[in-house]
Amino acid sequence: MARNSNPSVAIQLVLQDGPYDHLRARWEEIEALGADAIYVSDHFVALRSRGDESTYEAMTVLAALAEATERVNIGTMVLGNSFRNPNLVADMARTIDLISGGRMVLGLGSGYVQEEYELYGYDYGTTGSRLRDLEAGLKTIAVRLPELKPPPLRKIPILIGGAGEKVTLRLAAQYADVWNILASDPDVVAHKLAVLDDWCEQVGRDSTEITRSAHVAYGEETTIRDPNPFFELGCTEFVVASGGPDWSLDTLRELLAWRDGLDRSGRPGAGKA
């Protein structure tokens, strides 16, 4: 499947395991390298900790990131829907969009780490109840965003992460501008894309309106998976993750080299002309 332009490249900064000044020092470097977006995670406990188990709150970090950068899109990958009132989330996202000059991407998910719920006094519920709450939150945010004054500088893109076929992909078809999945096996991703397309048809949505986003390095991975099979399937945003204490950019550089090695038709080639 040929492409008319190169895909976008993003990094997800996992907000744990290191001092804030190390995290802050990476932002301008990421932008200078040519990344298209910086996402931040949203957890109250350090998952799979490799350091001092420090954590940072996502939306306050994102506001600082908005001031420290000029070009890259910035967003959450993804906010736990249960952790904040959805009307407040809309207001926070609108404010960060204004601070950034119109670069906010609002990523949302249902939440899944029981320890976080118990630590902060939230009702963990069930997988089904958290997904129902996510749907209600998405509806509320969609209503609240255009009512805020002043409004955001653009229609804030909604990103939904996850691959559940009965609910999550339906919600993506209804609400998402970007859908993100872990790029593990191309056959699995192809199947999930087909399910997403089917849900789009059922809800009356043009599936081409949704950007397909794929994580090609996550967690402990130190090199990227081959992005080409996922690019051929129609994924056009590619994401690597990096955590503390150093927030290494090695996988980001590797992914950028892949992007910049595509020829103008979007196929593997000798590099940009």
What is the pLDDT, as a whole number, of residue 59? 97
Mean pLDDT (the chain, rounded): 92
Model confidence pLDDT, tens digit, residues 165-203: 999 999 999 999 999 999 989 999 999 999 999 999 999
The pair of three-digit structure tokens given for residue 78, joined into one six-digit string:
């993804």
Mean pLDDT along residues 124-141: 97
pLDDT at 269 over 60: no
Model confidence pLDDT, tens digit, residues 66-114: 999 999 999 999 999 999 999 999 999 999 999 999 999 999 999 989 9
What is the pLDDT, as a whole number, of residue 3? 39
Residues 215 and 255: their CA atoms lie apart, in Å, by 11
In the chain, helix, strand, coil percent, each to 5?
45, 20, 40
What is the pLDDT, as a whole number, of residue 184? 87
Q: Which domains does the chain have, with CATH numbers?
A: 8-260 (3.20.20.30)
Angle between helices 127-144 and 168-175 (to 10 degrees): 10
Per-residue b or e along 114-123, where b marks 16 or more CB atoms closer than 10 Å to that residue's CB = eebbeeeebe
Reduced to 3 states, what is the DSSP secondary structure of residue 209? Answer: helix
Best CA proximity match to 241, nearest among 2, 21, 43, 4: 43
**H helices within 19-126, ranges in order?**
20-33, 58-68, 86-100, 114-120
CB 22 within 8 A of CB 56: no
